[in-house]
Amino acid sequence: MPSEEEPDCQMFDSARDALEAVRVAIVELYVAAGANPDEPQEVARRFGLNRNLTWKLARVVAVAQPFAMLDHLPGKQGMELALLAFAKANAPKGAIDRVERALRQLYRVIEHHAGDREHLELSLESMGLIDREDHPGSGREQAFRGNSMVWGVQARTRLSASFLGPSASANCADLVQLGGLYRFRRLRTSARWRLFCLQITDDKGKESPSNQGPEEVDLNKRPGDPPLVLPDFCSGQVPQVEATDTSDGREFALAGGPVGNRGTFDCAFGFIARGLPSFRIPGHEHARLGVSITTPVENLILDFFVHRDLPVPLDPLFELYGFPHGGLEDVSMQIPANQLALTEEPVRLEGSPPVVATPLVSKYASLAARAYSRMGWNASEFRGLRLHVKFPPLASRYVVKWELK
């Protein structure tokens, strides 16, 4: 019996081959007509074409990956105008015919597999075969805008920073987990919104027996300050934070607040977990650190810092899981069936200690310094990785994962 993956493979192969055939045919047309695709303005002047059209054709010729053509390939009307102009300029008919044949094949592939070009692009983007996060028509950006409207909240940045360092307990590590929502704003008054949910579990989603409970990062909090929130790194009118124990873990939620710029704020939070096992035992073969996307955000900054003496690989896996049917906090649901394409790549944070400053997170350098100081760690003994994601999908979880020895 055919596998469930075959239709996706057919779409991938057919679309790739058809697009590459179009690109090759356009290259051959330029060569036959004596036109230079690196000079779109000159091509526009010589053939009487719009400069925007010749710029698009130049990008089609230049791309190294066929699917990248989809951002630049003109529509049917644009291609007809271009081929007519080449014909009027006495370009060889055979070269024009080859472009027309390649386009007809591409249109057949699109109709057969997707119905129209928009749905082909959407399918390929969903499969992780094209990366269009910076495109104004990106599906993720549209989802961000739509979810902001539906839920009435949004934020510029979600920060998740994990610091793993030596522990007083043998064969264990201590964790400082910092997080935040920056430029959080409400689009309408809402009674309550989850800030984050705290879990420390084993591979099966059960609470870790070594979990000693979260400690405060800030030891100088005033009476009435909400638990785990870091007031020195918050700004604006942060609403009251309510803590509730649920079946998913300990939930921290924001009370209602004003709408628009008047209610915009930054909220930073964090906790310490000590004595986490850094060795392999039954039921605990992997280590995972994750952040759930439960708020529409423009940016995710996922940073991972580890002490040089810990047995943690320099290249842990970064994975993305989606949970359209719930189960967002359940580790046991991080299975291949729920895995989504992750097109972004982590980058190493240079410097000693790793340089963390970014305009997307205010006071980040001081926040990181607070973590090192609180634990008595030497910051220069840490290395760091960063995953920056534009418009991360709602109801998803980004995970850093590695095998324990």
Residue 294 C-beta-side C-alpha neighbours within 13 Å? 19
Phi-psi region for residue 128, left (φ > 0), alpha (ψ -120 to 50) or beta?
A: left
Q: Which amino acid is at 404?
A: L
> SS3 for 106?
helix
- Name the residue ranges covered by the structural domains of the chain: 6-126, 139-403
pLDDT tens string 183-210: 988 877 765 677 666 655 555 545 555 5
* 342 contacts 200 by C-beta, under 8 angstroms: no
pLDDT tens string 135-175: 545 678 888 988 888 888 889 999 999 999 999 888 889 99
Select 139-403's CATH number: 3.40.50, 1.10.3470, 1.10.10, 2.60.40. Answer: 2.60.40
What is the Cα–Cα distance from 76 to 53, expressed in whole angstroms?
12
* 298 contacts 391 by C-beta, under 8 angstroms: yes
Rg (CA), the chain: 26
- Show the tokens assigned to 138: 């990106």
Q: What percent of the chain has pLDDT over 90?
A: 46
Q: Show the CA angle centred on residue 217, arms to residues 286 and 249, nearest 5°.
A: 50
Phi then psi for 182, rounded to 5 degrees? -115, 135
Check residue 373 and give its pLDDT: 95
